[in-house]
Copies of this chain bind each other. A is one copy, B any other.
Amino acid sequence: MKTKKTTIHDIAKELNITASTVSRALNNNPRISEATKKAVLGMAKDLNYQPNNLAAALRKGKSQLIGIIVPTINRSFFSSVIRGVEEVANKLNYRVIVSQSNEDVDNEIVTLNALLNARVDGILVSIGKNMDRFEHYQELIKKGIPLVLFDRTTNEISTSQVIIDDYLGGFQATQHLIKQGCRKIVHFTNVNQVNIYKERYRGYREALKEYDIPFDESLVYKSNMQLADGRECAEKLLASKTAFDAIFSASDYAVVGAMQVLKENKIKVPDDVALVGFSNEPFTSFTDPALTTVSQFPIEMGQAAAESFFEILNSKKKKFIPQKTVLQPELIIRASSLKLDK
């Protein structure tokens, strides 16, 4: 029952040639005659040969494996990125090993080492929220192991990145609200001012400026941006009696929390208050009213990250200059912000 697996040596023996020839034939090496190639391929099929990538990987020093580290796998955004990576990688005969950091640096380091031990040919990573140590990544660069950062990045690490233009997303979202006639636009942002939130915030301010709307710091609410946080912010907002006619939230979750509170207080969305979120989480099209939000094209981001990785890989000889790929976000307009043209 436990039949020994066929190797190139078995094929070689059957055909009275050597393993080297078989190896070359399988790799379509021009030094091998067409006749032998055909014979080898035929025998390989007959013997149900399955190449052992481990052996090849060991010898060649490349495993055809890519490691990807995300904070959590089961978040729509990240799983979509993974999907994108997988698509590109598989086409080029690479496999993808996934792992999660759970937003914890120590965990991230352990995970990273495990991937290195598995001898992945490179790493794609979206850095966790409160990460402040990057030596383990800088170490990678030194070792010459391809590294690509996506979405949550940092300039502390000199390597290729794929991000979306969060500034533009923030600008477009705010501009859209302004065009809908809103003037007192609240902004929900993250207490933790990592790049992406900083940029969305910047886009918000810039849009206000462009339309000559004075910026009012008291309209900016910082939180952890989960649903409950959104509720809390909305409650504080209402309690403060501040007038406002829109909320642009840098997170879909937070804005849904706010939507709930507004509804509970009989405030009409979008008529009294227009809402715009960020990320185009799948649930945004299911709320009532459906949420206007900004798509980050996660699958495309994954594809771009994978492509970035292969670029580094293929230019290994020369010094590679880190590339920054910036994807364009897209404002997805739904009912929650449509005051006009209904």
Contacts and interface: CB of A to CB of B under 8 A. Distances in A.
A114 B90 contact: yes
A115 B51 CA distance: 11
Interface in A290-341: 298-299
Contact of A99 (B1, B90, B113, B283): B90
B51 A117 contact: yes
A240 B157 CA distance: 63
A187 to B, nearest CB: 21
A245 B31 CA distance: 75
B117 A52 contact: yes
Interface stretch (A14-22, A55-63, A147-155, A196-204): A55-63
Given A95-B115, A287-B288, A83 B73 contact: yes
Contacts of A288: 263, 287-288
Contacts of A97: 65, 95-98
A282 B282 CA distance: 8
A184 B263 CA distance: 31
Given A54-B63, A55-B58, A74-B80, A100 B114 contact: no
Interface string A49-85: 0111111011000011100000011111011101100
A111 interface: yes
A118 B56 CA distance: 10
A171 to B, nearest CB: 26
Nearest to A286: B283
B74 A95 contact: no
A6 B90 CA distance: 30
B74 A79 contact: yes
Contact of A96 (B78, B79, B99, B263): B99
A18 B52 CA distance: 28
A100 B74 contact: no
Contact of A58 (B58, B76, B79, B116): B58
A86 interface: yes
A144 interface: yes
A27 interface: no
Interface of A: 1-3, 50-55, 57-58, 63-65, 72-76, 78-80, 82-83, 86, 90, 93, 95-100, 111, 113-119, 142-144, 256, 263, 281-283, 286-288, 298-299
Given A2-B144, A288-B288, 11 more contacts: A1-B142, A51-B117, A53-B117, A54-B58, A73-B86, A74-B76, A76-B282, A95-B99, A95-B118, A282-B282, A283-B286
